[in-house]
Amino acid sequence: MTSPTSLPVALITGASRGIGRAIADELAPTHHLLLGGRDGAALKELASSYPSAEPFALDVREATASSVEGIDTLDVLVHSAGVLRMGTIAELDDDAWRESFEINVFAVAKLTRLLLPALRAAGGQVIAINSGSGYNSGAGSAVYSGTKFALRALTDALREEERANGVRVSSIHPGRVATDMQAELHDYEGKEYSPGSWIQPSQVAKAVRLAVDAS
């Protein structure tokens, strides 16, 4: 898969909503977008709203070599897909831990590994949407923070490993962002949710733009 234009190519997971959608909006004027997500029909409709875009329908846990076949060069890979599972260690079962690490960590490692040849060919970059929870944890957040600590370890290692190959690696660590995930978190906390009180997805997208455009 190559860009149908001369535009650089950006693959964004979790592109159908929230932060991923905002990143797609931000990069659309300058990139050909591969819009990652599970709902192919919704992604196709979204792609039609951008100057140059196409769906990349995939459950990130199920990525294989055939999933990325044809992506010969890739300028930007943004890992934005993720899940939030809150609960105390006494409450959370094995499935909650397993799903969280499979989506937030293992899938990131696998998709990155599969796309490294294309990233190296383009001198591209990997951008991971992490969280303030990648630096701090607290009651009820062991599994979510655990995945984000692990994601930080992954990207820190990847940065050093790929430096000689010309692949840049950035982690974005926003605080609380006004997304569906934030609504879920407020519901868990038993608090009223006011989207306007929190960081907006477009602000996180601006941070991604800064990383993309940095020399």
Pick the catalytic residue: 135, 144, 188, 193? 144
Write phi, then psi, for 135 (nearest 5 degrees): -120, -20
Q: What does DSSP assign to residue 105?
A: I
- Cβ-count burial of 129 within 10 angstroms (0-12 exposed, 13-18 middle, 19+ buried)? buried
Q: Closest Cα partner for 137 from 150, 153, 149, 128?
A: 149
Residue carrying the six token digits 């009651």: 139
Region of 119 on the Ramachandran plot (φ > 0 left; ψ -120 to 50 alpha; else beta): alpha
Write phi, then psi, for 45 (nearest 5 degrees): -65, -45
Yes or no: say if 168 and 155 are a contact pair by the CB < 8 Å rule.
Answer: no
Is 144 considered catalytic here? yes
Q: Which helix H or strand E contains 182, and what residues bound it?
A: helix 180-189
Yes or no: say if 83 and 103 are a contact pair by the CB < 8 Å rule.
Answer: yes
Q: Closest Cα partner for 51 from 35, 37, 31, 34?
A: 31
Residue positions annotated with a catalytic role = 144
